[in-house]
Amino acid sequence: MRFKTRLGPKAMATVRTDESQSMWQLQGRRIYCALSVMMLIIAAVVFTTPAAMARTYTAMVIDAETGDVLHEYRADHKVYPASLTKIMTLYMLFDALDSGKVSLSTRMEVSKRAWGQAPSKLGLQPGEKISVEDAILALVTKSANDIAVVVAEHLGGTEIKFAQMMTAKARQIGMKNTTFRNASGLPNRGQLTTARDMIRLAVSLRKDYGNYYHYFSTQKFSYGKRTYGNHNNLLASYYGTDGIKTGYINASGFNLVASVNRNGRRLIGVVFGGRTARSRDDQMKKLLDQAYLDLKKDGEIIAPRPRISPDGKILPADTQLLMAKQNNANEVEQPGRIDTETVVARLSPETGGWGIQVGAFSDQRRAQEAVLAAARTAPDVLRLTRAAVEQQSNGSGIVYRARLLGFGGEQEARSACAALRKEKVACIPVNAGDAG
């Protein structure tokens, strides 16, 4: 038996009202979802602009030769340096090398505290030792936090003491807004810097310890059974890049200090606050491209490389500097001509006496150029010396050491270095029989 139920007028009205409310609720949810999507799209667009790339975004580009500021955005805004801290750690290590406190072959011990550092790290066990040169390469390529502490403890006794030394050195070279709390760049609220200060650090490092700067161009470093690549992607992807360092922690975003040399014109750039490593790299390239374009409009310096014969000798210097301005080109003579002969030779135990080193490079031609430049800078002091580019394997590749040999003793070599440093040429005295 079937029962049929008929709804009265009031019941029918109630049903219609419920249906109407349901439709309005559904429509409202659709509108809300649509608005939410629109807001997400707008936010994505807004926060991909440089100003909103991160609250920490800041950048600066300078001409390293003149000091002219070519671009700056919030260059004095305080940010976390992250692993850019290791540039100062390396500066302190280069200072120790230069003063004779350590040598490249000095072995430094890994403590339990160093071993316990958070990644990125090399992973050495407590009690193991690492040479100064391998430590340099581990900091430059792997950005190893454990090795940063090894360096700090070896030079400062404790990392806290070393951080105080780092801050004191920062003030000495004009980094007014930088404070270091550790040697690695791992998160610490009190560890702060600015883009302008990082520019100062990069410039000071090249000026004061240019003979060690070549380490920053190392693209691969082998230690034990592993090989580590350099995090600075611009070395392989942006023409003219020869250093220096990347950094990242959550609070800072992706950071980069880069040094680029094109046709004799060197620019140094700093970017803080990239959303990703790629966006940081792209932003740096964009800033450097624009800076070189602006310089080209004003006049581009072109400095040809010295001519080199097939046997590796540098021919008499006749390099000229051309300054191109619009359609005019004025020739500028190089001061003084020196016939400098550069010999490429392997180190041998028979090689003795004191000399000076004005650089060490992974590229033979750059080493030859460094010798030539030094000889031009101080012809009276170096007129009786013999220029040599000495080839040596350091375990991670071939290194060409740019040296001038033939000094009467250590004091004479140190005096020559003092004369070169007055002319802003990096120099260290060396015993010609020392392979380190």
- DSSP assignment of 218-247: --EEEETTEEEE-S-THHHHSTTEEEEEEE
The residue with greater pLDDT, 392 or 73, is 73
Catalytic position from the list 143, 217, 362, 396 = 143
**What per-residue confidence (pLDDT) applies to 432?**
62
DSSP 273-304: EESSHHHHHHHHHHHHHHHHHHHHHH-EEE-P
Q: Mind listing the pLDDT tens digit for each residue in 264-299?
A: 899 999 999 999 999 999 999 999 999 999 888 655
Q: Are 221 and 242 in contact (CB under 8 A)?
A: no
* Strand ranges, E, within 80-238: 107-109, 129-131, 220-223, 226-229
Burial of 313 (0-12, 13-18, 19+ CB in 10 A): middle
**What per-residue confidence (pLDDT) applies to 362?**
78
Q: Is 83 a catalytic residue?
A: yes
Helices 145-156 and 85-99 cross at an angle (nearest 10°) of 40
Is position 142 annotated in a ligand binding site? Answer: no
Q: Is 86 a catalytic residue?
A: yes
Provide the residue count of the chain. 436
- Inform me whether the pLDDT recorded for 304 exceeds 80: no
Q: Which domains does the chain have, with CATH numbers?
A: 55-301 (3.40.710.10), 303-332 (no CATH), 343-431 (3.30.70.1070)
Q: Is 131 a catalytic residue?
A: no
Q: Mind listing the pLDDT tens digit for each residue in 349-377?
A: 333 478 898 888 777 888 888 888 888 88
Q: How many angstroms separate the CA atoms of 294 and 357, rounded?
A: 36
Percent of the chain surpassing pLDDT 90: 52
- Name which of 252, 163, 241, 144 is nearest 202 in CA terms: 241
**What per-residue confidence (pLDDT) applies to 394?**
57
- Inform me whether the pLDDT recorded for 337 exceeds 70: no
The residue with greater pLDDT, 16 or 77, is 77
- Name which of 244, 258, 315 is nearest 90 in CA terms: 244
Q: How many angstroms separate the CA atoms of 415 and 418, rounded?
A: 5
Residues 6+ positions from 278 with CB-CB distance below 8 Å: none
Q: Mind listing the pLDDT tens digit for each residue in 131-188?
A: 999 999 999 999 999 999 999 999 999 999 999 999 999 999 999 999 999 999 999 9
Q: Mind listing the pLDDT tens digit for each residue in 30-39?
A: 655 555 545 5
Residue 428 identity (one-letter amino acid): I
The residue with greater pLDDT, 90 or 411, is 90
**What per-residue confidence (pLDDT) applies to 33?**
54
Q: How many angstroms separate the CA atoms of 132 and 217, rounded?
A: 17
Q: How many angstroms separate the CA atoms of 54 and 59, rounded?
A: 12
